[in-house]
């Protein structure tokens, strides 16, 4: 069955979805809010936009919905903004390492406004619809979110995780694979990460303190769900330390956080249990992977001169790649591509394009094939107007921005790109 | 005449009020006082010779203006005399026209000058010494009579300021200011707003020279006083009631359009869309730009979208300045092909981000901007093209990379200077 979003791919290669998805016919939402059309019959009758009359968004009143549960969003809510409640937001974002889930820009905005609100977009509505209507006895679906840079792929993933949190799924977040593969920390440039040989398998390599962060976020997100899940296998971490059958996830996670050497192996154990167990013992799991294309690339971690590790030589990478296959049931895998983290390799060459073929490469595409592609584009008229009305409501935009000419200039400068719009509106100038 | 007066530094100065010195000078009977200013109406009473008050008042005229005839003091030309000269002048002009073989009715002043230059060629350097045929009004001084009583007292109370019209004007402006303030206070209590505002756009204050023509020989501090008083009046909310007074001293601009439209043609696409083409350059970047008339603000460069090609927002601002100036942001579509510029692959190990990419494209942005400004002209009209020209968007930036010189590291950087 063809899905209409697949027509966004340039080539004619068809990616067939697995047959467990029952499609609902999605109708495009009616655009009731549009930019005013300028009438010009002769070419020389062009009138410049006024600087005194208010623009479209300064008179817009209805740009926020009250519903904070994505499951209850309707097609009329697409284009409006909604707020993520503070309890859910604090779970998604860990206190010590704030800027992990969302982008740095969004986190700054949330800190200054004390609330997290984002636009409800049509691909998000689509994903939630798919997740509500899949057959979870069949193998897992893989979703790949692609689109130009700054168009809201990570935000879409967070929208899906928010939906799953409300439905009490087990969420396995892998924010930013690339941070495992950088030698210098992105947020603390003076700290160099340690690498060590894996205790599980000597051919692979660990990044221990990064694994502790992973376990921290895992625990924060899921909380009490981890008490009820038990292991089905015995894991020998080292000579004297082991985990018996029937130990709960929460105890393993605490153990991993205390014993830093063993943390990556704990992650591997968790991932294996997810794959092995059935729906009777294991709740539904959502695996989110941001920057998937990093999992099929070379890292910046050196062992010898000019010898760089590859992603599958990391034990974390190895386990993650296994998770991303469709060999298990009762869950979903949502992945997002990202260009800036692969803007250049260590030698400084720029990669062209933002198409999945370019970013994933042959190996990555074959690994994720077949998948459901979800295209994210720039803002539509309705979305950009509600976003600008929100900024005006929060006093980020004042003065000549609110006129017709200012509105048109903002829209053209940012070119309807969400990240650039935020950068322009929230910067000091 | 070796003695000089302390005040006027001349032997017998005209602009001097020191009666002590000039008392000894003889007072000629029947003298007519010719003050500096010009009154509209002329009264015909003569002054009494025995009036002591007016003894110190001599015809005051500086040396800078007027012909030599006008500079003669104590010279009086009666009206009949001047009328005779005028008729002689007219006769002379007619005779000149006949001499040159032209119709005297269509003989203008310029023709007079050119014909005299032809008949009496002179190689004298100073223009005022050459032969000329001028109207007597330019040569003879205009007799102005003071408005005075039969006893000789001047009627105008500001006569002794020596520029009574000017001070009269200043007093009038101040009275208008007080009226405006009173109006404002009254209506503020009643909560009535003024109907309109005074718009001083498109005009500027008269210069010193122009005000001198209105009031004879006003010096710079007085001129500044006048302008400051007028601008204080113009700040009032009810200044629109005194618009005539203020505009009397204002010069209105006239928009002179100097821009010639480079692009006059608009072509039609295969699909029927109207567009115009232009080229733009900056450093080594060359851009071929097409602007489509009815569009939504879409910009594509080398097949890529605007935000992908220019991740840096300053580059985007550069490209969009023509639209921003004219405030027509989402009216046109743009298609461009750019080549050149330092857009090669840069090798660097420092991290790059979308905000600071390692491949700079600012020269390409400048080239596209020139192309857009040139291509917009036929759609936008002559006055808007003038706006673009004055903003400097239609001129190519001529700066290029300066060459490296021998004996130096780079274009300007020198090797370390060693004293020995």
- Cα separation, B119 vs B100, in Å, equals 10
pLDDT at A428: 58
Split into its structural domains, chain A has a count of 1
pLDDT at B302: 92
Residue A386 lies in a domain: no
Minimum distance, in Å, between the CA of residue B351 and any CA atom of chain A: 9
Contact B11, B124 (CB under 8 A): no
pLDDT at B72: 55
Q: Does the distance separating the beta carbons of A40 and B331 come in below 8 Å?
A: yes
- Least Cα distance to A383 among A27, A33, A109 occurs for A33
Minimum distance, in Å, between the CA of residue A76 and any CA atom of chain B: 25
* CA distances in angstroms from B188 to B179, B180, B197, B234, listed in the order given: 14, 12, 16, 18
Residue A155 lies in a domain: no
Write out the DSSP string of B193-250: --S-----TTEEEPPHHHHHHHSTT--HHHHHHHHHHHHHHHTSTTGGGGHHHHHTTE
pLDDT at A384: 93
The radius of gyration of chain A's CA atoms, rounded to the nearest angstrom, is 23
More confident residue, A40 or A109: A109
Which stretch of DSSP H or E encloses residue A165?
helix A153-166
Q: Which own/partner contact pairs does B299-302 have at CB distance under 8 Å and 24+ positions apart?
A: B299/A415, B299/B333, B299/B334, B299/B336, B300/B334, B300/B335, B300/B336, B301/B335, B301/B336, B301/B337, B301/B338, B301/B368, B302/B336, B302/B337, B302/B338
Which stretch of DSSP H or E encloses residue B380?
helix B362-380
The reply to whether A409 touches chain B by the CB within 8 Å rule is yes
Minimum distance, in Å, between the CA of residue B203 and any CA atom of chain A: 23
Which stretch of DSSP H or E encloses residue A212?
helix A208-222
Among B308, B324, B329, select the one facing A148 at the smallest CB separation.
B308
pLDDT at A183: 63
Residue A230 lies in a domain: yes
- Cα separation, B154 vs B214, in Å, equals 22
Q: Which of B267, B316, B329, B344 to mutate to test the interface with A (most CBs of A within 10 A)?
A: B329
Among A43, A348, A409, select the one facing B379 at the smallest CB separation.
A43
* CA distances in angstroms from A138 to A288, A369, B18, B229, listed in the order given: 19, 16, 119, 89
Residue A93 has pLDDT above 60, yes or no: yes
Residue A38 lies in a domain: no
Residue A108 has pLDDT above 70, yes or no: yes
The reply to whether A414 touches chain B by the CB within 8 Å rule is yes
Specify burial of residue B208 (Cβ count, 10 A radius: 0-12, 13-18, 19+): middle
pLDDT at B53: 42
Nearest residue of B to residue A353 by CA position? B308
* CA distances in angstroms from A383 to A74, A94, A375, B389, B406, listed in the order given: 15, 29, 16, 37, 59
* ipTM associated with this complex: 0.80
For A111, how many CA atoms within 13 A lie in the half-sphere containing its CB? 12
Q: Who's near A82: CB < 8 A, 6+ residues apart?
A: A64, A65, A67, A68, A70, A73, A117, A118, A120
Residue A72 lies in a domain: no
Residue A308 has pLDDT above 50, yes or no: yes
Q: Residue A3: count other Cβ atoms within 10 Å of its Cβ.
A: 18
Which residues in chain B are closer than 8 Å to A350, comparing Cβ atoms? 345, 358-359
Residue A104 lies in a domain: no
Q: Which of B308, B314, B345, B347 to mutate to test the interface with A (most CBs of A within 10 A)?
A: B308
pLDDT at A418: 93
- Cα separation, A125 vs A207, in Å, equals 37
Minimum distance, in Å, between the CA of residue A409 and any CA atom of chain B: 6
Q: Which of A109-118, A354-363, B69-78, B382-391 has the lowest mean pLDDT?
A: B69-78
Tokens of A112: 């200054």
Could you give the dihedral angle defined by the CA atoms of residues A336, A340, A344 and A350, in that order, rounded to the nearest 10 degrees? 100
Which residues in chain B are closer than 8 Å to A340, comparing Cβ atoms? 353-354
Minimum distance, in Å, between the CA of residue B258 and any CA atom of chain A: 19
β-bridge partners, A373: A144
Nearest residue of A to residue B328 by CA position? A48
Which stretch of DSSP H or E encloses residue A299?
strand A298-304
Which residues in chain A are closer than 8 Å to B266, comparing Cβ atoms? 43
Which residues in chain A are closer than 8 Å to B334, comparing Cβ atoms? none
Which residues in chain A are closer than 8 Å to B323, comparing Cβ atoms? 409, 412
Specify burial of residue B271 (Cβ count, 10 A radius: 0-12, 13-18, 19+): exposed
Which residues in chain B are closer than 8 Å to A179, comparing Cβ atoms? none
Residue A135 lies in a domain: no
Residue A177 lies in a domain: yes
More confident residue, A371 or A94: A371
Residues of B in CB contact (< 8 Å) with A are 266, 274, 293-294, 297, 299, 305-308, 311, 313, 316-317, 320, 323-324, 326-331, 345-349, 352-355, 357-359, 378-381
Kindly report the pTM of this predicted structure: 0.68
Contact A265, A198 (CB under 8 A): yes
Q: What is the pLDDT of residues A163-209, one digit of tens each?
A: 999 999 999 988 877 777 776 555 554 445 567 777 787 788 888 88
* CA distances in angstroms from A63 to A110, A389, A391, A398, A403, listed in the order given: 18, 7, 11, 18, 18
Write phi, then psi, for A398 (nearest 5 degrees).
-140, 165
Contact A29, A381 (CB under 8 A): no
The reply to whether A370 touches chain B by the CB within 8 Å rule is no
Q: Which own/partner contact pairs does A32-40 have at CB distance under 8 Å and 24+ positions apart?
A: A32/A382, A33/A60, A33/A79, A33/A381, A33/A382, A33/A385, A33/A386, A34/A381, A34/A382, A35/A381, A35/A385, A35/B330, A36/A404, A38/B330, A38/B331, A40/B294, A40/B331
Which residue shows structure tokens 């859910």?
A88
Q: Who's near A69: CB < 8 A, 6+ residues apart?
A: A163, A166
- Least Cα distance to A396 among A408, A387, A384, A404 occurs for A387
Among B316, B354, B379, select the one facing A46 at the smallest CB separation.
B379
For A34, how many CA atoms within 13 A lie in the half-sphere containing its CB? 8
Write phi, then psi, for A321 (nearest 5 degrees).
-65, -35
Q: What average pLDDT is seen over chain B? A: 81
Pairing of strands B333-339, B304-305: unpaired
Could you give the dihedral angle defined by the CA atoms of residues B353, B355, B357 and B360, in that order, rounded to the nearest 10 degrees? 180
Q: Residue A153: count other Cβ atoms within 10 Å of its Cβ.
A: 25
Q: Does the distance separating the beta carbons of A43 and B330 come in below 8 Å?
A: no
Nearest residue of A to residue B323 by CA position? A409
Among A35, A340, A378, select the one facing B353 at the smallest CB separation.
A340
Contact A172, A286 (CB under 8 A): yes
Question: Structural domain of residue A184, as residue ranges?
Answer: 168-375
pLDDT in 10s for each residue of chain B, 420 residues: 344 455 555 444 444 555 554 554 444 444 444 444 444 444 333 444 334 344 455 444 444 555 666 555 556 777 888 899 999 999 999 999 999 999 999 999 999 999 999 999 999 999 889 999 999 888 876 666 677 787 778 888 888 888 888 999 999 999 999 999 999 999 999 999 899 999 898 899 999 999 988 887 789 999 999 999 999 999 999 999 999 999 999 999 877 777 677 767 888 989 989 999 999 999 889 999 999 988 888 999 999 899 888 888 899 999 999 999 999 998 999 999 998 886 444 444 345 555 555 567 889 999 999 999 999 998 888 888 889 999 999 999 999 988 999 999 999 999 999 898
Residue A332 has pLDDT above 60, yes or no: yes
More confident residue, A234 or B32: A234
Contact A421, A379 (CB under 8 A): yes
| Rounded percentage of chain A residues whose pLDDT exceeds 90 | 35
- Least Cα distance to A119 among A387, A422, A407, A395 occurs for A387
Q: Which of residues 317-356 of A touch B (CB under 8 A)?
A: 340, 343-344, 346-350, 354
Which residue shows structure tokens 């000019």?
A306
Which residues in chain A are closer than 8 Å to B345, comparing Cβ atoms? 348-350
């Amino acid at each position: 069955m063809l899905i209409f979003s697949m027509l966004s791919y340039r080539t004619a290669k068809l990616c067939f979805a697995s047959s467990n998805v029952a499609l609902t016919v999605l109708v495009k939402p009616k655009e009731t809010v549009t930019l005013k059309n300028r009438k010009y019959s002769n070419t020389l009758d062009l009138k410049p936009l006024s600087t005194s009359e208010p623009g479209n968004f300064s008179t817009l009143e209805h740009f926020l919905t009250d519903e904070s549960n994505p499951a209850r969003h309707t097609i009329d809510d697409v284009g409006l903004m909604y707020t993520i409640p503070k309890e859910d937001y604090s779970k998604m974002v860990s206190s010590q390492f704030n800027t992990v889930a969302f982008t740095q820009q969004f986190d700054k905005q949330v800190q200054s406004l004390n609330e997290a609100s984002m636009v409800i977009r049509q691909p998000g509505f689509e994903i939630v619809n798919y997740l509500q209507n899949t057959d979870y006895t069949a193998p897992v679906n893989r979703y790949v979110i692609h689109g130009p840079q700054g168009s809201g792929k990570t935000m879409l993933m967070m929208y899906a995780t928010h939906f799953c949190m409300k439905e009490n799924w087990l969420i396995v977040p892998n924010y930013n694979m690339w941070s495992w593969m950088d030698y210098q920390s992105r947020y603390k440039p003076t700290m160099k990460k340690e690498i060590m040989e894996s205790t599980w398998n000597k051919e692979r390599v660990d990044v221990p303190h990064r694994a502790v962060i992973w376990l921290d976020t895992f625990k924060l997100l899921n909380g009490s769900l981890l008490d009820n899940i038990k292991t089905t296998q015995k894991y020998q971490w080292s000579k004297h330390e082991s985990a018996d059958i029937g130990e709960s996830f929460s105890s393993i996670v605490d153990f991993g956080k205390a014993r830093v050497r063993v943390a990556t192996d704990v992650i591997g154990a968790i991932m294996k249990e997810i794959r092995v167990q059935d729906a009777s013992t294991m709740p539904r799991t959502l695996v989110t992977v941001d920057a998937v294309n990093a999992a099929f690339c070379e890292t910046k971690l050196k062992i010898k001169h000019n010898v760089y590790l590859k992603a599958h030589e990391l034990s974390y990478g190895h386990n993650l790649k296994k998770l991303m296959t469709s060999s298990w049931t009762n869950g979903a895998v949502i992945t997002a591509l990202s260009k800036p983290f692969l803007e250049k390799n260590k030698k400084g060459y720029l990669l062209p394009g933002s198409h999945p073929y370019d970013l994933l490469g042959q190996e990555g595409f074959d690994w994720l094939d077949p998948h459901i592609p979800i295209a994210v584009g720039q803002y539509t008229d309705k979305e950009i107007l509600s976003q600008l009305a929100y900024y005006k409501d929060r006093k980020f935009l004042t003065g000549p921005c609110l006129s017709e000419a200012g509105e048109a200039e903002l829209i053209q400068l940012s070119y309807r790109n969400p990240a650039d719009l935020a950068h322009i509106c929230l910067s000091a100038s | 005449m070796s003695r000089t007066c302390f005040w006027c530094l001349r032997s017998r100065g005209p602009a001097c009020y020191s009666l002590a010195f000039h008392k000894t000078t003889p007072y000629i009977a029947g003298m007519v006082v010719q003050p500096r200013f010009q009154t509209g109406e002329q009264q015909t009473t003569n002054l009494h010779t025995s009036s002591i008050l007016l003894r110190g008042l001599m015809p005051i005229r500086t040396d800078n203006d007027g012909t030599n005839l006008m500079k003669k003091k104590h010279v009086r030309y009666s009206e009949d005399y001047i009328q005779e000269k005028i008729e002689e002048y007219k006769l002379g002009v007619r005779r000149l026209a006949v001499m040159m073989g032209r119709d005297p009715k269509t003989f203008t002043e310029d023709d007079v000058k050119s014909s005299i230059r032809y008949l009496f060629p002179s190689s004298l350097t100073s223009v005022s010494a050459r032969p000329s045929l001028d109207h007597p009004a330019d040569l003879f001084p205009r007799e102005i009579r003071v408005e005075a009583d039969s006893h000789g007292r001047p009627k105008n109370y500001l006569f002794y300021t020596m520029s009574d019209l000017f001070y009269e004007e200043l007093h009038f402006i101040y009275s208008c200011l007080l009226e405006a303030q009173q109006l404002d206070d009254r209506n503020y209590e009643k909560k009535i707003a003024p109907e309109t505002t005074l718009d001083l756009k498109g005009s500027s204050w008269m210069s010193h020279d122009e005000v001198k023509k209105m009031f004879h020989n006003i010096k710079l501090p007085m001129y500044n006083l006048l302008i400051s008083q007028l601008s204080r009046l113009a700040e009032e909310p009810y200044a629109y009631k005194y618009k005539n007074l203020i505009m009397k001293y204002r010069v209105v601009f006239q928009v002179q359009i100097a821009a010639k439209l480079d692009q006059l043609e608009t072509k039609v696409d295969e699909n029927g869309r109207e567009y115009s083409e232009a080229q733009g350059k900056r450093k080594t970047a060359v851009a071929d730009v097409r602007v489509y008339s009815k569009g939504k603000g879409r910009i594509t460069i080398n097949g890529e979208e605007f935000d992908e090609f220019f991740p840096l927002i300053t580059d985007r601002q550069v490209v969009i300045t023509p639209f921003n100036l004219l405030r027509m942001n989402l009216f046109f579509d743009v298609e461009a092909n750019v080549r050149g510029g330092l857009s090669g692959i840069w090798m660097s190990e420092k991290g790059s981000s979308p905000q600071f990419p390692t491949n700079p494209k600012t020269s390409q942005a400048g080239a596209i901007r020139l192309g857009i400004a040139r291509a917009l002209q036929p759609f936008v009209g002559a006055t808007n093209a003038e706006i673009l020209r004055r903003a400097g968007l239609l001129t190519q930036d001529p700066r290029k990379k300066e060459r490296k010189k021998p004996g130096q590291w780079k274009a300007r950087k020198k090797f370390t200077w060693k004293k020995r």
